[in-house]
Amino acid sequence: MKVLIIGSGGREHTLVWKLKKSRKVKKIFCAPGNGGMSLDAKIINIKADDIKGLSDFASRNKINLTIVGPEKPLADGIVNEFNKRKLKIFGPDKKAAQIESSKVFAKEFMRKYHIPTAPFKVFSNAAEAIGFCKSVQYPVVIKADGLAAGKGVIVAKDYERAQMVIEDIMLNKIFGDAGEKILVESFLTGQEVSIMAIADGKNIIPLLPSQDHKQAYDGDRGPNTGGMGAYCPTQFVSKELMEKISENILFPTINGLIQEGITYKGVIYAGLMLTESGPKVLEYNCRFGDPETQVVLPLLNTDLFDLMMAAINQKLSSFGSLSWRNATAVCIIMASKGYPGKYSTGFNITGLRDIRDNNCLIFHAGTQFMDKRLVTAGGRVLGVTGVDKNLKLALNTAYRYVGKIKFKGAMYRRDIGFRALKPMKPINR
């Protein structure tokens, strides 16, 4: 079988790594790929949002399965085009992808189908939104409606900050058209966890729960990023709590989509806050998380190709249960100095050749080869994943090899997994 993976980040490199383990997969193409992926697959110089170019390539090369990594091509309707050409593709179509591409759609969907989430109000006028913020309890969360590369969610601790954020989003257009509408919602407290699940339009199978670290600096300080590290599984989601999440959130989500006339095939990602009154949905994503994928898939024993084909063919009901390693995985993101703001690229990356440990996996994100040298080419550069018997051992492995990798301006958090290392009991509500 021939597989095409669309995207260029650490998530996509992890998908390459996992699919290479399938005996059914004979050749993998990546578009546009990155430096690390070029060592494991054939790189195709087609941008991830070039829907016609990608569908032409898949048709011409008789690709058996295409997997979409990033959200933008999904939101733009790449699945619709592939379906029209009768090409197998893993991911939701344009209408289904609204659960991520429109936060307003997602929140109103949750309200309609009684899926627990924070109270919210929608605005398309900046003055009205600012006026509303004079009477709210702080902090509040302000969200741009559309896609903003993971940076469109901002916590405002007081009225002055809320006013500034609303003006930046709606008047100064810092997120472009994504800020035509905004949400102002109540701030939730608790443990934040990520639940990814595979859906076939009728059924849904959850993957192991993980915990992401979104802020740039230690102690959850600094601006939001695409994610600076993650670990899996998380102790905060017990087996009993996972059953409640499935019953109260995942199954109502897939059933609600069915009621809306939407056949959702692909990954449904629910970002949850485990509050004192139970789990509540912060957001949906319509694709694999990054860096959650880098810690979930290394623990999956089940053949990912078979799982994805079962989802596409609506056969999850007969697929059976997933098989998992009895281990913990931790991913540390090594980023360029200045990320998620301005940063420089083109710096030599060294130390990777010294890593020969089966318990350490290196997933490339912002890398490329230049004159046969591996150099930095993005904000998030590498994901260093350690896998071991427990969280402490996995952390030791990951950080030990992070210390061996060098490039100018390298930055990373030194406290990934810190919440789980505190003496806290799992939340069972």
| pLDDT at residue 220 in the model | 93
- On whether both 342 and 254 belong to a single domain, the answer is no
The residues facing 410 across adjacent strands are 336
- On whether both 195 and 314 belong to a single domain, the answer is yes
Kindly state the tokens that stand for 219.
């102690």
- On whether both 170 and 68 belong to a single domain, the answer is no
Q: Find the CATH number of the domain harbouring 142.
A: 3.30.1490.20
C-alpha 142/C-alpha 185 separation (Å) is 7
Q: Find the CATH number of the domain harbouring 200.
A: 3.30.470.20
68 belongs to a structural domain: yes
Q: Which residue has the higher pLDDT, 423 or 104?
A: 104
428 belongs to a structural domain: no
| pLDDT at residue 149 in the model | 76
Kindly state the tokens that stand for 174.
């810092």
- On whether both 221 and 309 belong to a single domain, the answer is yes
pLDDT in tens, 138-155: 999 999 999 987 778 999
Interstrand relation of 373-376 and 2-7 (parallel, antiparallel or unpaired): unpaired
Q: Find the CATH number of the domain harbouring 38.
A: 3.40.50.20
| Arithmetic mean of pLDDT, 371-388 | 97
C-alpha 195/C-alpha 250 separation (Å) is 9
Residue 207 CB-density burial (10 A; 0-12 exposed, 13-18 middle, 19+ buried): buried
Report the chain's mean pLDDT, rounded to a whole number: 95
Q: Find the CATH number of the domain harbouring 391.
A: 3.90.600.10
102 belongs to a structural domain: no
- On whether both 286 and 346 belong to a single domain, the answer is no
Report the phi/psi class of residue 353: left, alpha or beta, with left for phi > 0 and alpha for psi in -120 to 50. Answer: alpha
pLDDT in tens, 72-110: 999 999 999 999 999 999 999 999 999 999 999 999 999
Domain-terminating residue out of 297, 318, 339: 318
- On whether both 339 and 302 belong to a single domain, the answer is no
What does pTM read for this prediction? 0.95
HEC assignment per residue over 381-420: EEEEEEEECCHHHHHHHHHHHHCCCECCCEECCCCCCHHH
Q: CA-based Rg of the chain, rounded to a whole angstrom?
A: 21
214 belongs to a structural domain: yes
- On whether both 254 and 199 belong to a single domain, the answer is yes
Kindly state the tokens that stand for 53.
């170019």
| pLDDT at residue 354 in the model | 82
- On whether both 355 and 406 belong to a single domain, the answer is yes
103 belongs to a structural domain: no
Contact present, 225 and 213 (Cβ < 8 Å): no
pLDDT value at 423 more than 90? no
323 belongs to a structural domain: no
- On whether both 50 and 148 belong to a single domain, the answer is no
Kindly state the tokens that stand for 262.
């939407």
154 belongs to a structural domain: yes
The residues facing 45 across adjacent strands are none
106 belongs to a structural domain: no
73 preceded by a cis bond (ω within 30 of 0): no
Domain-terminating residue out of 180, 203, 223: 180
| Arithmetic mean of pLDDT, 289-297 | 98
Residue range(s) defining the domain that contains residue 24: 2-93
pLDDT value at 426 more than 50? no
- On whether both 281 and 195 belong to a single domain, the answer is yes
- On whether both 260 and 204 belong to a single domain, the answer is yes
Torsion sign, CA atoms 53, 16, 416, 204? positive
Q: How many domains does the chain have?
A: 4
pLDDT in tens, 218-276: 999 998 899 999 999 999 999 999 999 999 999 999 999 999 999 999 999 999 999 99
| pLDDT at residue 151 in the model | 78
Q: Could you tell me what percent of the chain has a pLDDT over 90?
A: 93
| pLDDT at residue 428 in the model | 45
Q: Residue type for 133, please?
A: C
- On whether both 133 and 85 belong to a single domain, the answer is no
Kindly state the tokens that stand for 314.
């609506």
